[in-house]
Every structure is written in C-alpha cells, then in structure tokens.
Structure 1
Amino acid sequence: MGVMAMAQKIEDEPAGGYRIGYDDHERHQEVSMASKPAKKPMTIDQAVRLRTAFDPQTSPDGTTVAYAVAELDEKTREYRAHLWSVPVAGGKARQLTWLGSEREPRWSPDGRLIAFVSRRDNDKVRQVWLLPVDGGEARRLTDIETGVHSIDWAPDGGSLLFLSREPMGAEEKRLKKRGGIRVVDRFVRMTQIWTVDVATGRCRQLTKDRSTKASACWSPVSGAPRIAFEKRREPTSNHSYRSSLWVMDGDGRNKRRLASVKACDTAPRWSSDGRQIAFLRRGTSVYARLTRLAVVGLAKGSRERVLTETLDRSVTDIRWAPDGRRLYALVHDGTRQHVHSVTAKGGRRRQLTSGDRQISGLRVSCGGGLVFLSETPKALAEVCVAATDGGTERQLTSTNPATARVALGRTRAVRWQSADGLQIEGVLVLPTNYRKGKRVPLVVEPHGGPAGARGFNFYPNWQLLAGKGYAVLSPNFRGSAGYGEAFLGANEDDFGGGDFADVMAGVDAMIDRGIAHPKRLAIMGFSYGGYMTAWAIGQTDRFQAAIAGAGVINLTSFYGTTDIQWFTTGYQKGAPWQNPDSYRQQSPITHVDKVKTPTLLYHGDEDRRVPLEQSQQLYVSLRERGVPTEFVRYPREGHGIGEYWHRKDCLERITGWLRKWVRSS
C-alpha cells in the first residue's frame, strides 16, 4: 500500500508545477527587495503547479549535473518531465529537452552524450534516446514493444543495458483478438535484461528465465565487463518479493549467484575496481524489517559482510567512494534522512549532513564530491553539492522560486506518550496565522505503508490546509519506518490496535497543549492512512469529518484482489483461512455499524494495489446506514491521484468537505 496521501506522479514520476523557463531564475533574482509583496497562503492552483526536481546525475568530469524536472504543461494540462543541467561551480540552469516527457538522464563514459528514456513521436511506450551534449537533436535508439527503463552505460560507451517487460506470447495475442480474452496463470509479467548497441541500435535479450529483474548495472571495468543484477522470483503469498543478487558476463553467459543467504537483497553497486559489490539487505522477506548495507567480493569463496549490523535504522541508498575505501549511505532516522560515510572494512560510520530535512538522490562525482537532493518543510527538493565530509554545501537549483512568496505554516516535530507508554513522534504543521494559545481545527493525517513515515518534507496539501486555518498532525505510529526494527514490527497482527492508540494519544496531546479544538477534529489519509481513517470512525465519534483515499476496508477481500497478496500474510500471520478472526476483527467493514462520522471517499478506477471495491464496500455500507457520505472515482488513476484535473478536483473536494463539517461545527 502506498505512502503518499496524493501521489504526485508523471508517468510514475513526481508531478510538477510552475511553468518556468530556464531564464526565469534570473528574472526572479532581479525583483527588487523593496517591491516584495505581502506573502499569501498557498492556493490549490499553486499546489498543483509545483515543479519537482529528481534524479540528479553527475558528468564524468564532475563539472555538470544533469537532472529531470517534472512540471505542468499549461497547454495540454498534462504533467511532463524534461531534462536540465546545471554547472557544479554554480550558475544558470539550462533546459536540455522540450519534447515529450523525458526521464533517467545518463551520461556516456566520455561525457559527449546523455541517454534518456522518453515517449515521443506518438510512442505508446518509452524508448531509449541519445542527446549530444554539445548541441543537436536527440536520436531514438530502441524500438521495443513493451518499452524500456533502468538504463545503464557499458564502461566502453559502446552499448547500454536496459530492463523491459516481456511481451505477450502468441497464445495471449490470439485470445486478445478474440474479444480480449485473458487466461490468468501468473500475477506479473516478467522483466528481463537487454542490451542495445549504440552505433547500430541492435538489441539483444540477455535473460529469459521465469523471474523478474528489478535492477541491473555494468561493472565499471572495461575489457571483460560484467553485469550485476537483482533477481526476483514471481511473488506469492508466502515469499513477498524475495530477491537475490547475481552476476553474469556482458553477453549474458556465466550467471552466478553472489550472496548465500535467503534474503531480500537489492540495489547492487560496483566498487570502482570491479572487485566488490555493495547492496542493501533485508534479512527476511517479511515487509517490516530493517534494510542494511552489505558488501560481497567477486572472488570465489567470498562471503558477504553486513556493515551496519549494529545500526538500528534502515539504509535507503548507497554509493561507493572512488577510492573504494568507504561508502556513502542514506540513513533514515525518524523525521530526517541524512548522508553517512561507512568504511568498507569495519563499518565505521559518521554522519555527514545535518538539519531538519530529507536527503535523497545521492550520487558521488569522479572527484569524490557529493551530489544530492535536499528537501525541507519550506521547499521541495533542490540539487545540492558538498565535499566528501559534508562541508561546503551549496544549493545549485531554484526549481520553485515563487514559493518564497507563499506564507507557510510552521512545521515541527512533536512527541507524546501512547496509552502503553510507548514514545511516539509526529510532524505538526501550524496554521499560517497561528497565535499561541488559540485553539484551531486539527486535521489528523495517518501516513501510508504502514511502514512509511512522515518527516521534514514539503507537503503542499498540508500547507494548503494551513493557509485555511487548520493545523495538521501526521503521527509516526508504531509500524512506521525510522525508529528501529522493534518499532517497525510492532503492528504485526495488530492493525487498528496499538497504532490507532498512538494516533488518538497524539490528538489528545494536541488538545492538552492548547493547540487543537476538541470539537473541530478531522481525520484523513490515503492507502494505509485510508485504512486508519476508516478504522477510526468505527471506533470513535470524536471526529467531525473523515476523508479516506484508497483505504483497505476488508482485509479478506483485499487478500484476494490486491497485487501484493504477501502483504496480508506477513502482517496477519497467515492467509484468511489460517487466521480468520484476525482478518475479520481488524477490518474496518466489521465495525461499520458504529460509524456516525460524515465520510468522503475517493479512489482511482485502475488501482491494483488497493482495488476500487474496497472503497465501494464502505460507501455502500455507509449509505445503507444513513451516514453522510460521498464517493468519488477517478478514471485512469492507479494507486494515487496524478492527472491535473483529478488532483485539482480532489483538493477542492477535500477542502470543501472540511469546510462543511469541521469549520462550521
């Protein structure tokens, strides 16, 4: 189940916003300080037009960063991403592409080309394109029926590898022509590894076995390059996405498994000499476990070494230093995520960045400098660079300069004690016009996952509500990431138990501290946050309004309709027939007879993670009981609301529902 309350996406990427050309940064800087207008609260139009920078990539010589920016196309009202570049020394950002929607910028080893994937010229799927850095038109390199993703250059620059989903077989195509008949014999179509020759465009499939390949990368050593890849067998209710790491020759031969332990091993990263591979390991296939940094040598007989065994926090991304003596890792700790250095021998660790923010998109230049995205409660992610010790940090981009003119609610971390004494942390955003001592309406927003977490990020939806006079509290209840493995697994077979108690204790804490008005409370959430919302209104009538997006309502039917059957068997300790009481008692639908709270429901018609029928079950039940309710379905949407008009409509309905049932209460 998803983590985001409203997925900001553009072909599986974050949604953009303000349409600003590359020269608008200069115009912004020329505004006179004396002419600064008064700041005004964020509007819905501003929220849906925010631009998002992502996927920074350093040039081979370390002088330039290429990255992608997602934004709204004002003519088509579609979110699209384009490629940009910015000098590491500082200066003006330059837009590189203008057509279609581009992602995954990847520099060639000689720095003369940038490969990327895009849908252009009326393509139905993404293909690989090559862009000359010194100028000229991009040229298309592939023509793969099912599209491509996850591209990576060979060290000699003569080819790229990519991943592509298997096409339909002959029998599937025959049945499709006969009225679209489908025979289901597996839940997912496997993804395989391919290479493409840069000079000729000739493509070659390297893997064909019955497993999906989640990631792959070339070794950095020319001559006899190898490919490391992550192999996942088809998920079942018992095994989650258990994955293993393998290596093979560049022509697909001599495949060999690296790690010896049955686990979930992901994200392989080659050392610069090609002798070691670092990776992320989750020790079991159970969802709620920490992810650790490990290293394995390529020599026969080498065994993997877990470098963060004693660190009770998850590592979310890793990169080698050029000298191979240490690695850089992103470590998630509560409401923050920062860069740490970890020695390759001994695992000695040191935090390099600090502050109330979230670091992501970590890269290391050939000279050893750090490149990353930094996001704070005041601004979406921007490209930054820093020295290898985290010092001399500089921000290179200004993707949303207009947000400097928006009045924002203050964001801070808050803590409280739950009913059983467990310490809980959450993120609180105060109204933009907040005055200490005045009680305000409170919107409680449980996050998704449930193994997600809220942190020091910029949440446009929260700032929209803050501008309308609401405080927003998002509790990192038990089961959230960032607080250690015991905390992460504390909600197993206890959905709606301790986690719900944590949420309500947070509400009481905000009331006791004089922030929240006890008679002006609302709860809203998406995915597992939608589950918590539906669960809450079946347990208490303290909330004046509820808003549930794509929430799980019936765990039993969810097991049989979701694309992650393993999710419930892991958390509920078995399948519905093995633990029927747990499935029934922890399902919000079981307690719908107690619901009195006016409830807004919204859902994507094409949601395969939490199928539409989940919201429909709650809607029908509430209607039958006479509870004020509204059910909004968004066509073409999956597990998140991403299209411009849909996002705008959803925010209008959310603010309207709160205005009707909370502000007027």
Structure 2
Amino acid sequence: MSKQEKHVIPEDIYDLQFPSDPQISPDGKKVIFVKKWIHKKEQKYYSNLYSVDTSRGTVVQFTRGDQKDIKPRWSRNGKQLLFIRSTKDKSELLSFYGGLGEPMPLISLEDGDIQDLAFSPDDKWVAVLIQKYDVSGEERKKEPLKRDIDRLFYRLDGEGYRQKRAVQLFIVKSRGGRLIPITDVPRDVTDFAWNHDGTGIYYVTNDHEDPDRHMDEESIFFYSLKEKRHVRIEKPAGPIGWVQTDPEGKYLYFAGHFKPGHSWGAVNSEIQQLLLETGEIHSLTASLDRTTDMVTLGDITPSFVKQKALFQTPEDFLFTISSEGANPLLKYNIPSGEITPLLDGPECVVSFSMSRDGKNIAVHLAQMERPDEIWLLELNSEKHFRRITFLNDEYMNSISCNVPEEYHIPSDNAVIQSWLLKPPGFSSNKKYPLLLQIHGGPRAQYGYTWFHEMHVFAAAGFVVLYTNPQGSQGYGHTFADAITGKWAEPAMNDLMAAMDYILELGFVDPEQCFVTGGSYGGYMTNWVVSHTNRFKGAVTQRSICDLSSFFGTSDTGWDLEADFHDVPWKNTELYKKWSPITYADKIETPLCIIHSEKDLRCPVEQAEQLFVRLKYDKKPVRLVLFPEESHGLSRGGRPDRRVERLKIMLEEFRV
C-alpha cells in the first residue's frame, strides 16, 4: 500500500515508538534514553534503555527484556550509569560500571518502589526516593476484612485505596552497601537535591498540621549528613515543583509560588531564588507571566514531566516554560537577569540534560510534524540543533497525514489559539464533517505535539478543531484564572467563537459537527450539549456532570473549594449553577458517555447519574464502561482498550 493510501488508524499505537528522558554523558559523547514499547500479545507497556553515539548517530539497545527500565542517570565522572528496573516482583536500582557486562543491583526491593535517584557531587553516594508498602506482595492482592479510614486523602487515581507508606529519602554508597534512611516523615518526600559539596541534601515534603486540606503548602528541609540534623528552610507557604542547588552553594532554587489555596494551575509556578545566608527570596521568572510546569497535553508525548533547571555555568541556568502551545528552552543569566531563548520554535522541549561543559544538550522534543524523538543541541562557536534518533521515521514514511494549521481567533476579551487538522487529500471545494476536541486540566494546553487521536479522526475524513480557551495555561495568570468560580465561562464562548470562525471558512458542513472532550473537557462537552443543539453527536469522556457529588467522591474533589471559594453544603446554588446535570433536560444531542470503572479523579458515578437521567428521560444516550482502567485511559490505559475507545468514537461520529 502506498503512503498516499495508508492513513492513521487506532491500531497504529502498536507501531509507534515512545522515546523519553535523554541523559547525555558528562563528556557529551553518548546519550542514554528510555524507549517505551507495547507488548501486543500481553497488552502491556515495557521500557528499555538505548544508547546513541552523538557523533556517529548509531543507536544501540542497552537493556533488554519484558520489564520497565527507567530513570537512567550518569555519575558525574561518567564512569557509572544507574537506572531503575521494575518487574512484577520487585523494584531494583541497577548499576553499569565502565559500560561493560551485565548491570549489578545496588538495591532490590520486594516491598516497595524506587522512584528517583541522584548521585552525590563526588559520586560516592546515591540518594534515592523509595515508597514502601504497608503489606506484603501476596497480601496486597487480597481484599482486606475492612478499610478503616481516618484521613481526607485516602484514595489516589491509578492506585486505589492507598496501601503505601509515605515516600522517604534514603542514601546508599554508589558501589553498593546498606540502605540508610534519611527521612521518616508522615507525608511524601516529593523532590530532593544534593547541596553543592555533597555534605547534605535538600528535600521537599508537606509538614502542615492538616496536609490533606493544604496539599499545596509544602516545605523545604536540609539534612546535614555530618550532624544528622534536619533544618526547615523558612519560606512563605506554597507548592514546590522541584528544588535545585547552584554549583557554589550560595543560593537554593525551587519552582513554585506563594499563593496557596488558589485553584490548581491558575497561579504560575515560577523559579524562586533563595539566598541561603539571609533567607531572602526573589522570583526570577515573574516577568514572563508563564508557568514553569510542563502542562502540554498529548497521547504520545508525556505530560506534567518534572524538569529541573540545570546550571550551564555558575552564572547561567537553563529551564523551560509552557507558553502558547510550546515549551521553549530558555537561559537565565543570574547577574543580569537576562532571559535568552535557546529553542523557541513551535515545538515542545519535554525534558533535557546537559554535558559537563554545558555545550551539548540532549533534548526530548515533541513536534507537530512527527512523533517524539531525541535531539542534540550543540552550543559551540555556533548553535546547531539536530535530530539523533529516527525511531518513528519508518512509520511516518508509511502513512499520509497533514500538519495542523494554526489560527488565532478573537473571542470575549481574548484571542484563542487554535489548530485545525485537515484530512489527507483535503480540498477546499468539498464540505467536511468537523470534530471539536476540548482539553482537560483545565489549566493545561494543547500544543505542538503529534497527537495520534487527532490524526485518527482526520484520517476518517474529519476536520479536527482543537483550541486553548480561557482557563488554559500558557497565556498568563489572568487567562488561566478566567474560569475560576464559573468553570464553563468564558470557555463556552471561546469554543463557540472558534466554531463560528472555522465554519465561515466554507469547507465545513454545519450539519455534520461533533464534539468530544475528557475530564474537564468532558465537563465542557456536557455543558456544550446542555446549552446548544448545534452538534450532531457528542462523546463525553471521564467527565464531570455534578460538582456537588464530585466534591465528595473524587480522590481530590475538595480542591473545588479553591475554584469556587465555597463548599457545596454552604452554597448549594453555586454548585448547582455550574453543574451540567442541572440542565440535562435541555440535552437533545445524541450522547455517548465513556468512562473508566476505576477512575477516582472523575468517579464513575458522574457517568452513571448522567446516563440514568438521560435514559430515564428517553434521550438518545449510550454508556460505555472500561473495566480496570483509571482516569488516564486515553494516554496510558491497556493498549487494546485505547484502540477500542477510538473505535467507539469513530462509530458514534459516523456521517
């Protein structure tokens, strides 16, 4: 079959390669990266490590087997490589030394998970984050006699009822030895960093007396290895994304803000500089009015990847932001405060690592033109940016697809960045059905990624419209905060303005328009069909229809108080006003409700009550439930269920 004849289909996820987490060697000669793949027979995801020579471009598989190998990390002298291996029986920290032989285990756990690691500056020690289980492996598989719950945050989407202890910080000698505990805190250690000379470790945890009600009030501590003492670093209350130290030990850097109690994502995470001598704190990135969190969405590209700032020199560090659909790579000069873009094209820097001299940077890059690959940025006499993996070229050469076109559409007090993906063989003389996609978050963004789902619908003959309405991140605090207290507005007006604009172009059949979205996008899908009949059909996914019940049944539902500045039992009318189910009697659009049975973020009761209400009223409605799956079905669910979800949507949107 020729390239012109083969289009993207749901089953193509089995053919795609998923590279991530490139780690360049200190001398800049090699990049180790993770490649995730799908075992079609087992319907499972596995990952192995691969190595690419930066001069010759040769790619070699570094580890093999049906397991999950992640988090490769070089020692600072480049002689040792550590990584985490997870199998069904255990979690291990494995070591390659000298690049030869089989990896040797430094840590092997059957009662816990190793989550992160970092070498000390002298390479003699390794700090690790470990989460241990409350019960043994066999006991975890059994249902308990009862569940005795005494805390607000007792479940977590993707995990279920919490059977794990808090994540703790440990150290171990890099050549092996006894695992030494550093922390014994009641809540997770979420990040850490060695200090400049390796005499201690900074770490982040929540030590609030009521941490479940104040999940965004985290603290930084310093542990001195010599004194064996924990010291709390004074700072205003607020969330912390990561912590980092400078090469000279003068400053502590962290990503976060000092406005706890605000709705998630509405306040930008900024890079804060803390002078250790005085405790004085300055935001270095406030002038950008952008978040340093990676909030670009995709089903091939990972989202919400934690990427610390990395020091290129004692006076310069590199970092990323989320901005207008992109994730540019920027350089900050500390003495001058000057911010210089290194990579600022229409693309997404998902993560990066740097050679010892700061002149070679390995980049996990997402683009609209192709699925993710690993690139190398060389900063010698001239800047040179080149691709060093070609994992998805064979697939891309076998299919025909278009690159989305970008539009900037005026709406209420804002201009809405939007993309339109046209079907292969598009002709402006024809009329096409349209599918409006609405993203979740809500404080996230569509952007410059190759989105498998979008291409599936374009290949089926649809013009696919996706936008970043107000409430999205990437356009500043005011834009992200616009929906606070009124979730559906002004997002509804923005979405309809985008629809009107595209219809005016003349190649869309207004009688063949469909809408879909997941999570907050599902909430908005429910809102759209309960407030307009312009769509021929709709699929609402992992959605919210009743904010009052969501408050009490979601794993983090009480966070709605930050959005609506009240709770449902005190302000029933407010929650009722912004709940789509209030307007269910207005729904005439045929609606398919897709939901995962183990979704704890947007619980399945949201789907069930909407289905029963519409079915009872004899409205055209269908409920499709996926067993075992959690909120992230479309991105990380069992592969055959991901395929089936797309097939159901194609079936619902037949024209």
**Both proteins in one fold, TM over 0.5:** yes
Conserved? CA contact 1:410–1:432, under 8 Å: no
For the residue of structure 2 that corresponds to 1:315, the secondary structure is coil
Aligned to 2:189: 213
The alpha-carbon deviation at position 386 of structure 1 amounts to 1.3
Counterpart of 1:648 (choices 617, 631, 643) is 643
Match of 2:303 in 1: none
Q: Does 1:323 align with 2:313?
A: yes
- Provide the C-alpha distance between the structure 2 equivalents of 1:400 and 1:237, rounded to a whole number of angstroms: 43
Question: How much does 1:632 deviate?
Answer: 2.0
* AA of the residue aligned to 2:644: D
Match of 1:292 among 270, 281, 287: 270
Q: Deviations over 1:170-204 (max 9, x none)?
A: 9xx99998943111122255222122334444212
**Structure 1 residue corresponding to 2:473, chosen from 478, 481, 496:** 481
**What SS is found at the alignment partner of 1:656?**
helix
Task: Return the offset for 1:510.
Answer: 0.9
TM-score normalized with structure 1 length: 0.88
Q: Which secondary structure state, in structure 2, belongs to the residue aligned with residue 321 of structure 1? A: strand
2: CA distance, partners of 1:196 / 1:630: 54
- Secondary structure, in 3 states, of the residue corresponding to 2:527? helix
Equivalent residue number for residue 363 of structure 2: 372
- Tell me, yes or no, if structure 1 residue 231 matches structure 2 residue 179: no
Per the alignment, do residues 133 and 608 of structure 1 end up closer, same or farther by CA in structure 2, a change over 3 Å counting? farther
Q: Which moved more, 1:343-352 or 1:447-456?
A: 343-352
Cα deviation digits, residues 211-239 of structure 1 (max 9, x gap): 321111223524xx211212124776753
What is the CA distance between 1:637 and its match in structure 2? Answer: 1.4
Alignment match, 2:68: 101
Task: Return the match for 2:82 from 108, 112, 115.
Answer: 115
> Matches of residues 161-310 of structure 1 in structure 2 within 5 Å?
161-168=127-134, 179-186=144-151, 187-188=153-154, 189-222=165-198, 225-233=199-207, 238-250=213-225, 253-285=228-260, 286=262, 287=264, 288-299=266-277, 301-310=278-287
Query: Aligned-pair RMSD on alpha carbons?
Result: 2.5
What are the within-5 Å matches in structure 2 for residues 196-595 of structure 1? 196-222=172-198, 225-233=199-207, 238-250=213-225, 253-285=228-260, 286=262, 287=264, 288-299=266-277, 301-316=278-293, 317-369=307-359, 370-388=361-379, 391-401=383-393, 402-418=395-411, 420-595=412-587
Higher mean C-alpha displacement, 256-265 vs 393-402: 256-265
Is 1:83 aligned to residue 49 of structure 2?
yes
The size of the alignment, in residue pairs, is 619
The residue that corresponds to 1:40 in the other structure is: 6
Match among 55, 65, 87 for residue 31 of structure 2? 65
- Corresponding residue SS for 2:416: strand
Change (3 A) 1:241 1:360: same
8 Å Cα contact 2:14/2:40 also seen in 1 = no
CA pair 381-274 structure 1, distance change in 2 beyond 3 A: farther
Partner AA of 2:85 in structure 1: S
Tell me if structure 2 keeps the 8 A contact 1:238–1:569: no
Please tell me the residue identity of whatever aligns with 1:68.
V
Question: What code does the residue aligned with 2:619 have?
Answer: V
Q: Is the 1:226–1:247 contact (alpha carbons within 8 Å) kept by the matching residues of 2?
A: yes
Residue 585 to residue 93, structure 1, CA distance change in 2 (3 Å): same
8 A contact 1:175–1:181 mirrored in 2:
no
Does the 8 Å CA contact 1:479/1:489 hold for their aligned counterparts? Answer: yes
5+ residue gaps, structure 2, are 155-164, 294-306
* TM-superposed deviation, 1:461: 0.7
**1:547–1:600 contact (8 Å) kept in structure 2:** yes
Whole-angstrom CA distance in 1 between matches of 2:566 and 2:499: 33
Taking structure 2 as the reference length, what is the TM-score of the superposition? 0.89
* TM-aligned CA deviation for residue 242 of structure 1: 2.0
Distance 1:251 1:527, change over 3 A: farther
C-alpha spacing 1:443/1:321, structure 2 compared with 1 (3 Å): same
Aligned-partner SS, 2:384:
coil
- 1:527 to partner: Cα distance: 0.8
Structure 1 counterpart of 2:108, from 135, 139, 143: 143
Is 1:384–1:396's contact at 8 Å kept on the other side of the alignment?
yes
CA distance in 2, matches of 1:336, 1:227: 33
Which runs of 5 or more residues in structure 1 are unaligned?
A: 1-34
Deviates more, 1:212-221 or 1:553-562: 212-221
User: Could you give the per-residue CA deviations for residues 322-376 of structure 1, whole angstroms, max 9, x where no partner exists?
Assistant: 4210111212221222111111134211112132211120222211132212211
Checking the alignment, whether the CA contact within 8 Å between 1:268 and 1:279 is kept in structure 2 is yes
Give the C-alpha shift of residue 644 in structure 1. 1.3
User: Percent of pairs identical after alignment?
Assistant: 24
Alpha-carbon distance, 1:437 to partner: 4.1
- Equivalent position of 2:653 in the other structure: 658
Query: 1:236 touches 1:565 (CA, 8 Å); kept in 2?
Result: no
